[in-house]
A and B are shown apart, each in its own frame.
Chain A
Amino acid sequence: MIVAVASGKGGTGKTTVAASLATVWDGPVLGVDLDVEEPNLHLFLQPVITGSEMAHMMVPAVEEAKCTYCGACSELCQFKAISVFNQVILTFPEMCHGCGGCMAICPEKAISSGQRELGEISWGRAGDVGFLAGKLRIGEAMSPPLMRLVKIRLDVMLAAEGGDAIIDAPPGVSCPAVNAVLDSDVILLVTEPTPFGVYDFILAWEAFAPLGKPMGAVINRAGLGNDAIYRFCREKGLPILAEIPYDRAIAEAYARGRVIADLSAELKETFISLRDRIRDLTKPSQPQKAAHA
């Protein structure tokens, strides 16, 4: 099972929840940081990194001696990453989305695969919890290509070692956020009961609901703000799987990079219960609404 921990608003506690959930998981589990623009799961899990590799995307490399300047590649490319000007062919590797269309369409077979560095993928282990993360190269404009490569490695690791994965997703509702939840079996939406949290939570719900995956809410900083989030969840039949209290001790532990499930027996119980309710959500025999009751 792959659990994606997502949110509309940033800073609501995705990483806090993902780290604690991984820590209380019963059985083999991988903590996966797919927030490749600003990965921080490692700050909480503190894994020992056992391997890493640079990740690259395929971009066009033109063998100009073979090029007849026919312009087929230029016409095909929707991103203007390859372009023909009279008797000159130019490539703009940073514009390329890596579709490979130019290589396929070139009648002279003059275009081969060059590389653009996307970032780094690293893996390791934090006690019982496996760890995998992507880190985007500074200046790289697109995060989904790197995220896809991290997910390929995730599939390989899950196939080899078995177990479940907990994905720390990037915030928001655009391509990176959707990409992070796309292959999951359950989506957790972490929010806080403030007007900002609720507004972005609704955006996230609207973005992810069409995926048709089991989804549940985790309310962080419960006790703050108002009850709008509770009303929204009730209206949409979206189960609230856990509430984490608005508590100075939690904020202090977070600020020190601690996993908050380790902070007290009560908090540990909160995350164990969250884990069990996530498992219930994915049981095919049990419809979503029953888990909420």
Chain B
Amino acid sequence: MNRIAVTSEGPSLDDQIDPRFGRAAGFVVVDLASMDTDYIDNGQSQVMAQGAGIQAAELVTRAGVSCLLTGYVGPKAFQALSAAGIKVGQNLEGLTVRQAVERFKSGQVEMAQAANRTGR
């Protein structure tokens, strides 16, 4: 079963991608075969003074996904996701979750080699 996580402003496939990873509203976890979804709320990371990206990485790691689709990822979060063996597709802001997943399935999302945001 291949599952991927997408940062999202809401719980459904038709919600907009939340461009932020660490402080995203939540993650839509999509089963690529069935297109079934689960939603993980990320409110607990949004309110953190620091370490939101690391905690968000813990959450998606626990969800057992192989890949994350999002807008921007900072350096600590990227390091954490890499450690967890989760590939990252970034710069996908402006799409809905469904559009991003379709793009990923058609092989048009390149996997990132590095963070695309600088840390604080």
Residues of A within 8 A of B55 (CB): 80, 83
Chain B's nearest CB lies how many Å from the CB of A86?
6
Asked if residues B80 and A90 are in contact (CB atoms below 8 Å), the reply is: yes
Tell me which of B4-12, B30-38, B46-54, B103-111 binds A: B46-54
Bound-state CA distance A86–B55 (Å) is 14
Give the interface SS of chain B, mostly helix, strand, loop or mixed: helix
Q: A92-B54, A95-B50, A95-B51 are in contact. Are A83 and B80 (CB under 8 A)?
A: yes
Bound-state CA distance A85–B58 (Å) is 6
**Count of A interface residues, CB-CB < 8 Å:** 12
Residues of B within 8 A of A83 (CB): 54-55, 57-58, 80
Q: A85-B57, A85-B61 are in contact. Are A90 and B83 (CB under 8 A)?
A: yes
Give the interface SS of chain A, mostly helix, strand, loop or mixed: mixed
* Chain B 53-77 interface 0/1 with A at a Cβ cutoff of 8 Å (1 = within): 0110110010000000000000010
Chain A's nearest CB lies how many Å from the CB of B26?
18
Asked if residues B58 and A92 are in contact (CB atoms below 8 Å), the reply is: no
Chain A's nearest CB lies how many Å from the CB of B56?
10
Residues of B within 8 A of A85 (CB): 57-58, 61, 80, 83-84
* Chain B 64-102 interface 0/1 with A at a Cβ cutoff of 8 Å (1 = within): 000000000000100110011100000000000000000
Chain A contact residues, CB within 8 Å of chain B: 74, 79-81, 83-86, 88, 90, 92, 95
